[in-house]
Amino acid sequence: MSIQEKYALTDEGMRNVKLGTFWTAASNLTMFGGVGIIYTLGSDFVAHLTEGAPLPGLGSYAPAIVIFAVVLFVTEYLAYYYQYGVIYKESGRQRIGLAERLRKLPLSFFGQRDLADLTETLMTDVKTTEHAYSHVLPELYGAYITLAVAAVGLFAFDWRLALASLWSCPVGLAILFGARSALQPMMEATRMRGLATSEDIQEALECAREVRATNQEERYLEHIFNHIDEAEHQATRSEIACGIAVNGAQIVLRLGLATTLLAGAGFIMDGSCTFMMLFAFLLVVSRIYAPFDQCLMLIAELFSAKTAAARMKSFYEEPLAEGGDSYAPIGHDVSFEHVGFSYHDGEQVLDDVTFTAREGVTALVGPSGSGKSTCARLACRLWDATSGRVTVGGVDVSSVDPEVLLADFAVVFQDVLLFDDTVMGNIRLGRRDATDEEVLAAARAANCDEFVGRLPQGYDTLIGENGSRLSGGERQRISIARALLKGAPIVLLDEATASLDVENETEVQEALSNLLAGKTVIVIAHRMRTVMSADKIVVLEDGRVAEQGAPAELMAAGGLFARMVTLQTESAAWAL
């Protein structure tokens, strides 16, 4: 596996890592020029002490010192620029790339992944890899290049001292990277513990009302604290294990200086090596070890980055909901032809579903869990059918790019999602180029004027995260207004009036009846009275079509639909 694949780098990021490595190696090798100047000064001083040779003036060293300083400044600057300057843009490219990938993945992918897990990958994992390829990769590979070049020179001068000096580098790195197989699972376990804690905290925030209403605050907080303690203990174990490996490698690395001194002293005593040669070796070896010191301190991040990059890479291995841009349906009838759908765990949701929703209103009814919402999601290709096919105007939706297909759909789901924006801004999402008059007309049609008039700034009022300052019914009316503004030829209404009171429900249904004329409308409802005026009703039971036809026909047939209507009529008379 290449470095680019291993650390999930883009082409530009890989280029910058290479440049950072090159200039880091150049900076390290430039330091050997300083070693040469020190060696020359030391040789002249020793010659002066032992042989009485005159000391050269400082002016004779000045050109070499100036050249060394200039070259060192340039290489250090470029190394810094490519490590900490342009390379930080890589995290931005990675996040944008991941976001684009997520945008194109089918909705079924998000049903398998927890929100905290996705957030952790987008934020923490990208940050982990960012730190690795800005602080570790250029330094580590630059140190490898420095070691290789220096080794050639040292062996050329004295292979015995070179061997005594450099043996510790490969041995120390072998110890560290040999321990990686044991460290990697521990780091993954640390990450999973941290993720579990994040999920607990997120759940506590989302369910604060329920926790407080059931008097479970103390028990729930104890549960979170236990998970935090487990995450802390796991992180401590990982840090200790990694610290043992890193410090062990550093100790072995430092042994190279000791063996250089011992071997050099022996060679000086037998006359096969001079003091200045040993001095030069010690200077060079100290410069070889310096880059490795910094790398070893951050090597744990490199191991973590590999794990984080693997998770990022898994996003790119997920199959996309792809299709062509060419889409020319003949009309907008939505047809299900022997459609089956099952989740990745094998749970069958739909089985051999066949029906056609033509222009007008087609209602999908049935018990909870019968597959009504799944049909709506398959129609607009938020999910893909496992078997059979879904067509719009005779075009198989699986052959069309979802974003192209969705231009013909306006969707109001049961679970309304709004942005922390104004009422006007949330409605305008239906059609970004709509005028204020068009937005207000859609809002009035969805009966938004009634509650917007009570807001401090009217339609310019910020409604909070997911419309937290509004009631459920008010949020749903904004969602309906958004769908009305879009003006798409196909409209999906999944329990669109479920959160409205009787009066508002009636008004919105009247508005829908007027504004949805001439369109293909698929309505999902549990209240049978809301679909009695539909052109067609499809009754689902256990993922299959139990019956379909006009409301009057189904009532006369006395089947499941008639039984559901009877039960709801009887329950309407129930009172405390």
**Residue 238 resides in a domain:** yes
Contacts of residues 420-424 at CB distance under 8 Å and 24 or more positions apart, as own/partner, are 420/462, 420/463, 420/464, 420/465, 420/466, 421/462, 421/463, 422/457, 422/459, 422/460, 422/461, 422/462, 422/463, 423/448, 423/452, 423/455, 423/458, 423/459, 423/460, 423/461, 423/463, 423/478, 424/459, 424/460
pLDDT, residue 574, reads 59
**Residue 390 resides in a domain:** yes
Q: What is this structure's pTM? A: 0.66
Cα–Cα distance measured from residue 292 to residue 298, given in angstroms and rounded to the nearest whole number = 10
- What residues contact 315, with CB distance under 8 A and at least 6 apart? 98, 101, 102, 105, 121
Q: Please report, in angstroms and rounded to a whole number, the separation of the first and last CA atoms in the chain.
A: 69
Q: What is the largest CA-CA distance in the chain?
A: 124
Higher-confidence position of 223 and 461: 461
Q: Which of 444, 446, 450, 451 is nearest to 508 (CA)?
A: 446
How do residues 232-253 score in pLDDT, each as one tens digit? 888 888 888 888 888 888 888 8
Q: Is the pLDDT of residue 7 over 80?
A: no
Q: Is the pLDDT of residue 21 over 80?
A: yes
How do residues 341-359 score in pLDDT, each as one tens digit? 987 666 788 999 999 999 8
Cα–Cα distance measured from residue 153 to residue 29, given in angstroms and rounded to the nearest whole number = 12
Q: What is the mean pLDDT of the chain?
A: 82
pLDDT, residue 301, reads 72
Q: Is the pLDDT of residue 576 over 60?
A: no
The residue out of 254, 285, 317 marking a domain boundary is: 317
pLDDT, residue 74, reads 93
**304 plus 348 within the same structural domain:** no
Cα–Cα distance measured from residue 471 to residue 521, given in angstroms and rounded to the nearest whole number = 26
Cα–Cα distance measured from residue 140 to residue 134, given in angstroms and rounded to the nearest whole number = 11
Q: Is the pLDDT of residue 398 over 80?
A: yes
Q: Is the pLDDT of residue 495 over 90?
A: no
pLDDT, residue 364, reads 92
Query: Residue 389: pLDDT band by 50, 70, 90 thresholds?
Result: very high
Q: DSSP letters of 303-341?
A: HHHHHHHHHHHHHHHSPP---BS----SS--EEEEEEEE
Q: Which of 163, 164, 183 is nearest to 175 (CA)?
A: 183
User: For the residues 145-164, what does the mean pLDDT come to?
Assistant: 87
How do residues 506-535 score in pLDDT, each as one tens digit? 666 666 666 677 789 898 887 777 788 888
Give the percent of the chain with pLDDT over 70: 92
pLDDT, residue 511, reads 60
Query: Residue 334: pLDDT band by 50, 70, 90 thresholds?
Result: very high
Cα–Cα distance measured from residue 288 to residue 147, given in angstroms and rounded to the nearest whole number = 6
Q: Return the ∠ at Cα 303 (arms to 186 and 132), rounded to 5°.
A: 140
pLDDT, residue 41, reads 80
The residue out of 317, 344, 364 marking a domain boundary is: 317
Q: Return the ∠ at Cα 250 (arms to 244 and 256), rounded to 5°.
A: 145
Cα–Cα distance measured from residue 369 to residue 499, given in angstroms and rounded to the nearest whole number = 19
pLDDT, residue 539, reads 92
**340 plus 259 within the same structural domain:** no
Highest mean pLDDT among 29-33, 120-124, 457-461, 571-575: 457-461
User: For the residues 23-44, what does the mean pLDDT come to?
Assistant: 83
Q: Is the pLDDT of residue 207 over 70?
A: yes
pLDDT, residue 224, reads 84
Domain hosting 167: range is 3-317
Cα–Cα distance measured from residue 363 to residue 370, given in angstroms and rounded to the nearest whole number = 14
Q: Is the pLDDT of residue 336 over 90?
A: yes
- What residues contact 265, with CB distance under 8 A and at least 6 apart? 278
Q: Could you tell me the sign of the dihedral formed by the alpha carbons of 248, 249, 253, 254, in that order?
A: negative
Q: Is the pLDDT of residue 575 over 60?
A: no
User: For the residues 68-73, what does the mean pLDDT come to?
Assistant: 90
Contact 492, 380 (CB under 8 A): yes
Q: Return the ∠ at Cα 73 (arms to 69 and 78), rounded to 5°.
A: 155
Q: Look at residue 573 and give its three-state secondary structure.
A: coil
User: For the residues 116-130, what does the mean pLDDT come to?
Assistant: 75
Dihedral angle at the C-alpha atoms of 404, 409, 412, 418, nearest 10 degrees?
A: 30
Query: Residue 179: pLDDT band by 50, 70, 90 thresholds?
Result: confident
**Residue 323 resides in a domain:** no
Cα–Cα distance measured from residue 17 to residue 90, given in angstroms and rounded to the nearest whole number = 10
**Residue 327 resides in a domain:** no
pLDDT, residue 249, reads 83
Query: Residue 61: pLDDT band by 50, 70, 90 thresholds?
Result: confident
Query: Residue 367: pLDDT band by 50, 70, 90 thresholds?
Result: confident
Higher-confidence position of 396 and 223: 396
pLDDT, residue 345, reads 65
**Residue 329 resides in a domain:** no
**446 plus 537 within the same structural domain:** yes
pLDDT, residue 540, reads 92
- Structure tokens belonging to residue 439: 């937005």
**148 plus 294 within the same structural domain:** yes
Cα–Cα distance measured from residue 16 to residue 92, given in angstroms and rounded to the nearest whole number = 14
The residue out of 263, 289, 317 marking a domain boundary is: 317
| 339, burial (CB in 10 Å: exposed 0-12, middle 13-18, buried 19+) | buried
Q: Which of 300, 362, 402, 367 is nearest to 492 (CA)?
A: 362
How do residues 259-288 score in pLDDT, each as one tens digit? 888 888 888 888 888 888 888 888 888 778
**103 plus 77 within the same structural domain:** yes
pLDDT, residue 325, reads 82
**Residue 182 resides in a domain:** yes
**402 plus 287 within the same structural domain:** no
**351 plus 258 within the same structural domain:** no
**CATH code, 270:** 1.20.1560.10
**Residue 328 resides in a domain:** no
Q: Return the ∠ at Cα 242 (arms to 236 and 243), rounded to 5°.
A: 85
**230 plus 352 within the same structural domain:** no
Q: DSSP letters of 222-261?
A: HHHHHHHHHHHHHHHHHHHHHHHHHHHHHHHHHHHHHHHH
Query: Residue 572: pLDDT band by 50, 70, 90 thresholds?
Result: low
Cα–Cα distance measured from residue 380 to residue 491, given in angstroms and rounded to the nearest whole number = 10
**546 plus 403 within the same structural domain:** yes
Contact 487, 442 (CB under 8 A): no
Contact 402, 321 (CB under 8 A): yes
Q: How many CA atoms lie within 13 A of 302 on its CB side?
A: 20
Q: Is the pLDDT of residue 314 over 70?
A: yes
Which helix or strand (DSSP H or E) is residue 342 part of? strand 334-342
**244 plus 365 within the same structural domain:** no
Q: Which residue has the tokens 């409205």?
A: 500
How far are the Cα atoms of 307, 430, 447, 481, 485 from residue 488, in angstroms, in the given order?
44, 10, 20, 13, 8
**263 plus 344 within the same structural domain:** no
User: For the residues 379-397, what does the mean pLDDT come to?
Assistant: 90
Higher-confidence position of 185 and 459: 459
Q: Is the pLDDT of residue 295 over 80?
A: no
Contact 537, 525 (CB under 8 A): no
Contact 143, 150 (CB under 8 A): no
**Residue 326 resides in a domain:** no
**CATH code, 453:** 3.40.50.300
Query: Residue 53: pLDDT band by 50, 70, 90 thresholds?
Result: confident
Cα–Cα distance measured from residue 26 to residue 483, given in angstroms and rounded to the nearest whole number = 60
The total number of structural domains in the chain stands at 2
Q: Is the pLDDT of residue 331 over 80?
A: yes
**344 plus 309 within the same structural domain:** no
